């Protein structure tokens, strides 16, 4: 979702950008860049402009950016993940550490980055360099397909966090404490008994919602000692318990 734009991807290999005008949704643009199912789309932070990254089962990742005149420019990274790419997520547009650093004369240049996960069990970080997308980091820890990745929002503290989840039931939190993001340390948040399909960060970047094949959602938070604890476990099948955990809205 980007304003009144919605991007959707599908098993039919297409990515469609929809636009809402007066309450109706119309397809604004249809992209047929991929040879197999497109599994994930993610809009870039608004600071980067109208930009969209798509990950597909053909192993490629494509970055669509609006030229502004209604046309879309595509940059494709072929064979980004062997066998297939399952998830993509943009890094926040905030430079790590910018909050506490002394404001220098020139504004630091924000590097565009995104993270992807795929069937090669890898999490990869991509960086835009001279208009081209280059693989910056390759993070290895999962033992099966990576099903989702999520880069945590940031207000500019000097660390970056990425969550990834996998077919192997593990959710891994990757942290990097330098602003360049060259060193990433994995930490297993939890090993679930079933496939983990989805991870999502709260806007504050400190709570992670995890959901998977067991049809359950749990919320996780890091304690001061650096342990990840489950703060809320919603077993949807068993009905909501409003006294503990999230309150249900109508």
Partner 1 sequence: MAARWNENIVAEHRDLQANAMSVDCTGQFAILAGKRVWAVINLDTPQDVVKKLSRQSRWEVSVVEWNPHVLQKNLFAATSNQSADIWSWADGCGRQIASLKAHTRVISDVNWSCFDSNMLATCSVDTYIYLWDIRDSRKPASALSAVAGAAQVKWNKIDSNYIATAHDGDIRIWDHRKNSTPVQYIAAHLSKIHGLDWEPKQELCLATSSQDGTVKFWDVTSPRQPQSTLNSTAPVWRARYTPFGNGLVTIVVPQLRRGENSLLLWNTDNLSVPMHTFIGHSDVVLEFQWRKFNEDSTDYQLVTWSRDHTLRLWKIDPHLQKLCGAEEFIDDVHRDMVSISPGSRHSSISGVAIEKTSLGSDKEQTGSAVEEINEKVKNVSSSATTVTAGQPQTLQQEFSLVNVSDITNVKLDLDAMHRSCKVTSVHVNNMVTLNVSFPANYPNNAAPDFTFTKPTNIDTKTKSKLLKILQETSHQHVKRNRTCLEPCIRKLVTGLETLTVDDKVQDSSQTPYNLQNVSVVKQPVMPIISYGSYRDHNIPFPRTSGARFCSVGKLVVFMRPVVKKSSNPENTPRSLSVLGTFRTLPIKGMASQTSQYNIYNTNLGSPTRDVEVSISNYYKDRDRERKIRGRGSSKHKRGWEVDYVKPTSSGLVTVYDIEIVLPIHKTLAQNYVLDHNDIPGMCKFGTLCQHCHREVKGAHCVECKRYSFQCAICHVAVKGSSNFCLSCRHGGHSHHMLEWFQTQDVCPTGCGCYCMQEDFQLYGRERTDSFSRSGHTGRERTDSFGRSGITSRERADSYGKSGFSNFL
Q: Using the rule CB under 8 A, is 158 a contact of partner 1?
A: no
Instruction: State in angstroms the smallest separation of the CB of 69 from partner 1.
Output: 29
**Between the CA of residue 222 and those of 7, 15, 148, 155, what are the distances in Å?**
32, 35, 20, 17
**Between the CA of residue 208 and those of 9, 90, 165, 181, 218, what are the distances in Å?**
24, 16, 11, 21, 8
Work out the number of other CB atoms within 10 angstroms of the CB of residue 72. Answer: 19
C-alpha span between 29 and 143 (Å, rounded) = 37
Cα separation of the two ends of the chain: 23
Choices 90-98, 132-140, 176-184, 212-220; region in contact with partner 1 by CB under 8 A: 212-220
Choice between 131 and 237, CB closer to partner 1: 237
Q: Using the rule CB under 8 A, is 233 a contact of partner 1?
A: no
Instruction: State in angstroms the smallest separation of the CB of 12 from partner 1.
Output: 6
Q: Using the rule CB under 8 A, is 197 a contact of partner 1?
A: yes
Choice between 13 and 76, CB closer to partner 1: 13
Total count of residues recorded for the chain: 250
Contact call for residues 214 and 194 (beta carbons, < 8 A): yes
Q: Using the rule CB under 8 A, is 96 a contact of partner 1?
A: no
The sheet with strand 15-21 has its strands ordered as 5-9, 15-21, 24-31
Choice between 136 and 235, CB closer to partner 1: 235
Instruction: State in angstroms the smallest separation of the CB of 141 from partner 1.
Output: 19
Query: What is the rounded (10 degree) CA torsion for 60, 63, 64, 67?
Result: -140
Choices 61-69, 104-112, 177-185, 189-197; region in contact with partner 1 by CB under 8 A: 189-197
Question: Site residues (CB under 8 A) for partner 1?
Answer: 11-13, 36-37, 39, 57, 59, 82-84, 86, 119, 145, 147, 155, 157, 167, 169, 193-195, 197-198, 200-207, 209-217, 219, 221-224, 231-232, 234, 236-238, 246-249
């Amino acid at each position: 979702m980007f304003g009144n734009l919605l991007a959707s991807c599908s098993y039919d290999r297409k990515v469609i950008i929809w636009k809402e005008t007066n309450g109706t949704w119309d397809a604004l643009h249809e992209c047929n860049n991929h040879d197999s199912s497109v599994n994930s789309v993610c809009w870039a932070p608004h600071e980067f402009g109208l930009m969209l990254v798509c990950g597909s089962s053909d192993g490629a990742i494509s970055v669509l950016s609006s030229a502004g005149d209604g046309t879309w420019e595509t940059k494709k990274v072929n064979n980004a993940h062997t066998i297939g790419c399952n998830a993509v997520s943009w890094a926040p547009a905030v430079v790590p550490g910018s909050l506490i650093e002394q404001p220098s004369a020139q504004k630091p240049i924000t590097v565009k980055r995104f993270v992807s996960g795929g069937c090669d069990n890898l999490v990869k970080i991509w960086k835009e360099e001279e208009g081209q997308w280059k693989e910056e980091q390759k993070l290895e820890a999962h033992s099966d397909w990576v099903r989702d990745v999520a880069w945590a929002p940031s207000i500019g503290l000097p660390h970056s966090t990425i969550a990834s989840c996998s077919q192997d039931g593990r959710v891994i939190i990757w942290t990097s404490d330098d602003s360049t993001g060259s060193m990433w340390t994995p930490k297993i948040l939890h090993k679930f008994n079933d496939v983990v399909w989805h991870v999502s960060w709260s806007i504050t970047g400190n709570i992670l919602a995890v959901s998977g094949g067991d049809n359950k959602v749990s919320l996780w938070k890091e304690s001061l000692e650096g342990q990840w604890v489950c703060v809320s476990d919603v077993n949807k099948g068993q009905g909501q318990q409003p006294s503990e955990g999230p309150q249900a809205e109508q």
